[in-house]
Amino acid sequence: MVSFSIDASQRVPIKMWTNGVPVEDQAAAQLRNVANLPFIHKHVAVMPDVHWGMGATVGSVIPTKGAIVPAAVGVDIGCGMMAQRTTLTASDLPDSLAALRSEIERRIPHGRTNNGRPGDRGAWHDIPDAVTGSLPGAMAEGLLALFEKHPPLRKQWTLERALSHAGTLGTGNHFVEVCLDEEQRVWVMLHSGSRGIGNRIGTFFIEKAKEDMRRWFINLPDADLAYIPQGSALFKDYCDAVEWAQQYALFNRRLMMTAAIGALAAEVPKPFDCDCEAVNCHHNYVSWESHFGENVIVTRKGAVRAREGELGIIPGSMGARSFIVRGKGNAESFCSCSHGAGRAMSRAAAKKRFTLDDHLAATAGVECRKDTEVIDETPGAYKDIDAVMAAQADLVSIEHTLKQVLCVKG
């Protein structure tokens, strides 16, 4: 049985795993724009968490041959999830989780002040040895080489400033959570990406691609679909930069996980271990893969790779369930699944629609921020995670169901 709908009216088909999940008109228009680009391979795959994004929708899988669209990758390059199970159970956690939340917040810089400039509370002021001492030498060399090739990137950024964001959370929908699974085992789960330096890299190459479109008199239905042709010097530089940012994002999440586990150890008197390999996966990234007999560039913007047997993470909102999943290797989706529930409305709309009382009710039983500044992240601002999971039943199977008991937001 076909579990996706098909729009075959564009240059290539759009295959959508959105049964039972609403899709906004703006997102549908963006999908049509992407499907009509001349270098799309086979079709565009749409995940059930799809919603409007810059240039291309969040929740889409875009395979290309001969070109890449930087805005389809986005500016939070390598953004993704990490989850680690421990040997602790719910009964081992303290009755009040406020002290644990405070300890996680103390160990992991989060949020943003002073427009991200000196004094920003979301960055390290004195970079700890755990950051500088664990930075792979190749990563430092790669960033310096990128600065050398593209001096404008060096404006406002140095290796030291990039390191000041390593092991830090950020803002928006980024989080650190303590969760319980179906057997009441304790997990630590977090969501973040390549931070300010990734944003700077993404923004720089998006603008470079737009400059080229203007130079070549190429008119696009959306300027944010500006692309970089394969074979050009800029293409190689962009791919190198994206690869660097993706590795930095992985490094960032590993540092935060170590800090969060350390906070848990400091607040829970019982000794414990991490009893399985952590899951660490991107959901805003580029990968070279083979699909339908050809080697192609796969851009996943708000989507997770779900090859057969591969583990991934699909989080709900800060008051809903999350899932550790195992991929089914569905070829039609380019072996992909959703990256979360997906926004049901914009941040501005959520702030107008929901009250603080709504947020308090939706996050009852969760130790988290309960103030007006996080209303745009309240569970009602997101799609129903159960409907999202049902729509992609042929893409992944559920290995573990997690329910957060503590959530740290920037």
Cα distances (Å, whole numbers) of residue 31 to 24, 70, 354: 11, 16, 29
Active-site residue, from 165, 339, 359, 400:
339
Contact by Cβ (8 Å): 383, 317: no
Tell me whether residue 22 is exposed, middle or buried, using C-beta atoms within 10 angstroms of its C-beta: 0 to 12, 13 to 18, 19 or more: middle
Q: Full-prediction pTM beyond 0.85?
A: yes
**Cα dihedral: 242, 253, 190, 62 (round 10):** 20
Tell me the per-residue pLDDT of 27-79, one tens digit each, with 9 for 90 and over.
999 999 999 999 999 999 999 999 999 989 999 999 999 999 999 999 999 99
pLDDT tens digits for range 146-166:
999 999 998 878 899 999 999
Distance of CA 69 to the CA centre of its chain: 18
User: In sequence order, which residues have a C-beta less than 8 Å from that of residue 240 and are 6 or more positions away?
Assistant: 142, 146
339 is annotated as an active-site residue: yes
Residue 360 CB neighbours (<10 A): 12
Phi and psi based region of residue 183 (left: phi greater than 0; alpha: psi -120 to 50; beta: remaining): alpha
pLDDT in tens, 329-361: 999 999 999 999 999 999 999 999 999 999 999
For residue 212, give Cα distances in angstroms to 14, 53, 104, 206, 227: 27, 22, 45, 10, 8
Q: What is the pLDDT of residues 237-246, one digit of tens each?
A: 999 999 999 9
Structural domains of the chain ordered from first start: 5-344+382-409 (3.90.1860.10)
